[in-house]
């Protein structure tokens, strides 16, 4: 992607552009309305019920503080009905942004360990997935991730829920690893990723978000990652950038997330330009949009500004995500064609 003519009105173009999102968290996508509604149901929670106060509450001093706040929202989700409501509303918000396909990262361990029955949990997300597809036309698939800091117990539980044919949900396509990276080396999770891959799931761990490129290398070699969540520190290692580009291993880039969690100081210092210059397949994602005061459309606008993209360059970000997705080939062709048709219609004189 090279510097191109400035788009006529990037926000309007992006708002109508059909998109796919690959790195967006279930609980992290709970809108202020949903969070305040759940907080009102649980007065014992420290999460504010007032959406304005919530904006302040979602301001983080560092990554550890982000995880602490994230878990206080996880604590609000206590029943299968909470799970179903959250999932359906997240799908509604995605549809509003013309997201046709999303791979939503869910951490089942965090909910089952808080007392939600595993079968009821799976039924709740599957019911919401089918309702969203029928009512919004948005296709959802699941990524189950291990909350790494919770250790091997959580890895075992997550691998069991993801590979037991009596439990694994129909929409499950991938297996991930989230939470803090510092003090949580990737190699210990190799046996669990091996089980997930043997069960037909795709490996998509977070790596290089708050630690260096060695964590990205470990995700590739030990966990056989097909995509990398964030991969921000890859820019520090030219050999790693060349490897990612040569082997077409996509990065799930979440620009505003990296600023909000202090992983990167300012957007102008974000390594997304190095990724593009190295020929790495860049996809744009929102990670935990309401918590970071953003949404996917805004992330596309940020990427367009940083990369100096015109409409065709912005559309390429969307087709990159389709190409990097685990959607079936027919679905990929259909969504790519829709993106191309929209872009040509927009540019027609
Ligand atoms: N940008 C992000 N980068 C990394 N992760 C992210 C990001 N955004 C969201 N997450 C999610 O945060 C959670 C972290 C949960 C966690 O650390 C933890 C630790 C100890 C105990 C428990 C528990 O449940 O008992 C959970 C994960 O679910 C992950 O999917
Ligand atoms: Zn994430």
Assess contact for 137 and 186: CB atoms under 8 A.
no
Give the pLDDT score at 328: 95
Count how many Cα atoms sit within 13 Å of the Cα of residue 30 in the half-sphere of its side chain. 28
The burial of 262, by beta-carbon neighbours within 10 Å (0-12 exposed, 13-18 middle, 19 or more buried), is given as middle
Residues 6+ apart with CB under 8 A from 31: 89, 90, 93, 290
Ligand 2: centre distance to CA 287 (Å): 5
Enter the tokens of residue 263: 């992983």
Among residues 296, 155, 285, the alpha carbon closest in space to that of 229 is found at: 285
Beta-strand runs (E) in the chain: 19-25, 99-106, 139-147, 172-178, 202-203, 206-207, 228-230, 251-253, 282-284
Ligand 1: centre distance to CA 147 (Å): 5
Does ligand 1 lie within 6 Å of residue 25's CB atom? yes
Secondary structure of residue 286 in the 3-state scheme: coil
Assess contact for 326 and 202: CB atoms under 8 A.
yes
Assess contact for 298 and 256: CB atoms under 8 A.
yes
Task: For 192-211, write each residue's pLDDT tens digit.
Answer: 999 999 999 999 999 999 99
Q: Which residue ranges of the chain lie beneath pLDDT 70? A: 1-6
Assess contact for 42 and 76: CB atoms under 8 A.
yes
Ligand 2: centre distance to CA 6 (Å): 30
Determine the Cα–Cα distance for residues 337 and 7; give it in Å rounded to an integer: 21
- State which of 64, 71, 256 you would mutate to test the pocket of ligand 1, scoring each by most atoms of that ligand within 8 A of its C-beta: 71
Give the pLDDT score at 335: 98
Give the pLDDT score at 6: 67
- State which of 144, 178, 260 you would mutate to test the pocket of ligand 1, scoring each by most atoms of that ligand within 8 A of its C-beta: 178
Give the pLDDT score at 8: 74
Ligand 2: centre distance to CA 216 (Å): 14
Give the pLDDT score at 5: 65
Look up tokens 């957007």; give the residue.
Answer: 267
Determine the Cα–Cα distance for residues 146 and 177; give it in Å rounded to an integer: 5
Determine the Cα–Cα distance for residues 293 and 296; give it in Å rounded to an integer: 11
Give the pLDDT score at 99: 98
Interface pTM, i.e. ipTM: 0.98
Among residues 140, 25, 135, 37, the alpha carbon closest in space to that of 82 is found at: 37
What ligand is nearest to the CA atom of residue 211? Answer: 1
Active site residue 209: yes
Sorted by where each starts, the structural domains of the chain and their CATH numbers stand as 10-347 (3.20.20.140)
Task: Give the rounded percent of residues in the chain with a pLDDT score beyond 90.
Answer: 89
| pTM, rounded to two decimals | 0.96
Residues 6+ apart with CB under 8 A from 208: 181, 215, 216, 219, 228, 230, 231, 232, 233, 234
């Amino acid at each position: 992607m090279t510097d191109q003519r400035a788009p006529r009105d990037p926000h309007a173009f992006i708002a109508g552009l059909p998109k796919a999102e690959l790195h967006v968290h279930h609980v992290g996508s709970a809108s202020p309305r949903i969070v305040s509604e759940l907080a009102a149901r649980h007065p014992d929670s420290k999460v504010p019920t007032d959406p304005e106060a919530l904006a302040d509450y979602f301001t983080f001093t560092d990554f550890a503080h982000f995880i602490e706040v994230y878990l206080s929202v996880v604590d609000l989700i206590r029943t299968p009905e909470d799970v179903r409501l959250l999932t359906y509303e997240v799908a509604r918000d995605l549809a509003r942004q013309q997201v046709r396909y999303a791979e939503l990262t869910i951490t089942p361990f965090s909910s089952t360990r808080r007392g939600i029955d595993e079968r009821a949990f799976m039924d709740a997300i599957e019911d919401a997935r089918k309702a969203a597809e029928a009512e919004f036309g948005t296709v959802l698939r699941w990524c189950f991730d291990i909350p790494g800091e919770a250790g091997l117990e959580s890895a075992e539980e997550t691998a069991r829920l993801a590979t037991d044919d009596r439990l694994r949900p129909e929409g499950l396509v991938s297996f991930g690893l989230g939470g803090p990276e510092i003090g949580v080396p990737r190699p210990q999770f190799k046996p669990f990723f091996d089980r997930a891959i043997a069960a037909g799931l795709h490996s998509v761990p977070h790596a290089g978000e708050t630690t260096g490129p060695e964590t990205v290398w470990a995700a590739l070699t030990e966990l056989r990652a097909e995509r990398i969540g964030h991969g921000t520190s890859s820019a520090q290692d030219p050999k790693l950038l060349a490897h990612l580009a040569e082997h077409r291993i996509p990065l799930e880039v979440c620009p505003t997330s990296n600023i909000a969690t202090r992983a990167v100081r300012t957007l102008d210092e974000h390594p997304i330009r190095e990724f593009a210059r190295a020929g790495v397949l860049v996809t744009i994602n929102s990670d935990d949009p309401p918590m970071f005061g953003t949404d996917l459309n805004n992330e596309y606008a940020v990427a367009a500004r940083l990369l100096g993209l015109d409409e065709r360059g912005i559309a390429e970000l969307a087709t990159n995500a389709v190409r990097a997705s685990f959607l079936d080939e027919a679905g990929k062709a259909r969504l790519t064609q829709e993106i191309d048709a929209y872009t040509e219609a927009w540019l027609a004189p």
